Amino acid sequence: MHMIATDVDDSITKLKTKLAAETKKPNRAMDPYFYRSHLVHDRELEHIVFKSWIYALHESELPNSGDFQLLDIGEDSIIIARHTDGELHAMHNICRHRGAAVCEDPCGNRATFVCPYHGWVYNLDGSMRAAREMHVLSEFEPHEHGLKKIRLISYMGLVFINCDPEAADFLGPLSHLSEPLGAYRLEKAKVAYKKTYRIDANWKLVLENYLECYHCATSHRAYARLHTLKDLEENVRPVLDAMLARSDEITGVPGMSTSYRKIYLDAEGFGACSYTSRYGLFDGYVTGSRDGQPVAPLMGSIQAYDGGAGDYQMGPLTFMLNYPDHCVLYRFLPRSVTQTDLEIVWYVNGDAEAGKDYQVEELIWLWDHTTQEDEYIIMRNSKGVNSRFFEPGPYHPEFEETLRDFVHWYLHSLRSTLPDELRD
């Protein structure tokens, strides 16, 4: 893991000064301070990441009572488990006695969670089952000492969590995606493969790379050969218009070409981004694969290839790129100031069989290859950004528009955490 020096002069006052300087250059890359500061990292976890809706897993990954998975964000661990009544629950992996983790395995099946330190026992929904010998404490109430619960929703089989008890509604914003996203029948899809890429760079650098395609033509030759996003819209408008004109009819999905955009500062609630659009593939290509040809059976109710791909955002840190025959989900989670977990999940139709209907290595090739290329450029980006001599340059008005929107939201969110007396 790459290490950076701690700024011994860092303070809330310094953060205020840096934020004020950013308002004077709103369309330029951020100052290195925001990628290096341990104070900033702690505040963004508390006030941004843990108050946002984040993809946790697909319901099919916990099919049985007692099934569970852990989700690690920063230094914190979260348990998602299926209770005996079939409901999913999310809770902090922290014993309510002295704080030991009650679960260490990343996934599995069990009837209870037992703290290895003093033996406190919790049910699958986080409620307390037993606290050894605590009956001698007359005021002890077991129901007050269950594992701390976390907000959880399921949308089309996709499970999202939010650590803020007062989190904004998310099902409402997601409902705007129902027509195009519903065509994939994700609730009946299967996880064909998933992989976590541990990248030694600040999480914002990893996310910012995903949010722009300015680098696509130069850094991703395989991707750029297939996808029109690597070009200015004015240069690919005929291809895009032709695809959108035929999309609903050819796919058999009314609303497949729907567009909706309420993200970051325009989101309906904090951390509840919702976005969809459909963009074109170049003529002769129908999906995101090594050669642009099908790699799996068509998904859900989709009847044919329209030469397009669905682009989705669900929350600030979760994205999907959906082709007619498979879907690719991206999730970005900070682990430390200099380390990020980028998880990719590949979905196929629920009844598709590996080795028969699709080959895993061909299904994942394009985005595994592209992500390895991304890691290469992100690492070099991180090295430069962490230099004391880095001077931020201007954003491209089209290719980096979404990146700019993220940065504006991020800085606004940080500014709102300042004490009242330090706000301008």
Going by C-alpha positions, the residue among 133, 68, 135 that lies closest to residue 102 is: 68
Specify which residues 276 forms β-bridges with. 260, 312
Q: What is the pLDDT of residue 423?
A: 65
Residue 5 is predicted with a pLDDT of 67
The tokens for 262 are 């309420």
Which among 45, 46, 42, 18 is positioned nearest to 32, based on CA atoms?
18
Distance between CA 311 and CA 304 in Å, rounded? 18
Residues of the chain predicted below pLDDT 70? 1-3, 5, 421-424
Residue 374 structure tokens: 């991304």
Give the C-alpha separation, 71 to 55, whole Å: 10
In degrees, to the nearest 5, what angle opens at C-alpha 350 toward C-alphas 369 and 153?
Answer: 90
Tokens of 416: 């709102």
Strands, E assignment, 4-148? 54-58, 67-73, 76-82, 88-92, 107-109, 113-114, 121-122, 128-130
Distances (CA, A) of 39 to 85, 347, 349: 42, 38, 44
What are the structure tokens assigned to 289, written together? 């694969």
Query: Both tokens of residue 265?
Result: 């500062």
CA–CA distance, 392 with 27 (Å, rounded to integer):
10
Instruction: Answer whether 414's CB lies under 8 Å from 43's CB.
Output: yes
Residues 6+ apart with CB under 8 A from 123: 83, 112, 113, 129
- 183 alpha carbon, distance to own chain's centre: 21
End-to-end CA distance of the chain: 37
Question: 10 Å Cβ neighbour count for 392?
Answer: 13
Contacts of 304 (CB under 8 A, 6+ apart): 250, 251, 252, 298, 324
What SS3 state is found at 92?
strand
Taking the C-alpha atoms of residue 418 and residue 354, their distance in angstroms, rounded to an integer, is: 52
Beta-bridge mates of residue 312: 276, 320
- Spell 151-189 as b/e; 16+ CB within 10 A means b: ebbbbbbbbbbbbbeebbebeebbebbebbbbbbbbbeb
Task: Count the helix, strand and coil residues of the chain and give each as a percent rounded to the nearest 5.
Answer: 35, 25, 40
> Domains in the chain, ordered, with CATH?
54-154 (2.102.10.10), 170-388+393-401 (3.90.380.10)
Parallel, antiparallel, or unpaired: how do β-strands 67-73 and 190-199 relate?
A: unpaired
- The pLDDT, as a whole number, for residue 58 is 98
pLDDT (tens digit, 9 = 90+) per residue, 322-375? 999 999 999 999 999 999 999 999 999 999 999 999 999 999 999 999 999 999
Tokens at residue 244, please?
């959108």
pLDDT score for 407: 97
Compute the distance between CA of residue 386 and CA of residue 376 in angstroms, rounded to an integer: 16
Provide the residue count of the chain: 424
Beta strand extents in 165-259 (DSSP E only): 190-199
Of 198, 199, 202, residue with least CA distance to 32: 202
Q: How many helices (H) and strands (E) does the chain have?
A: 11, 17
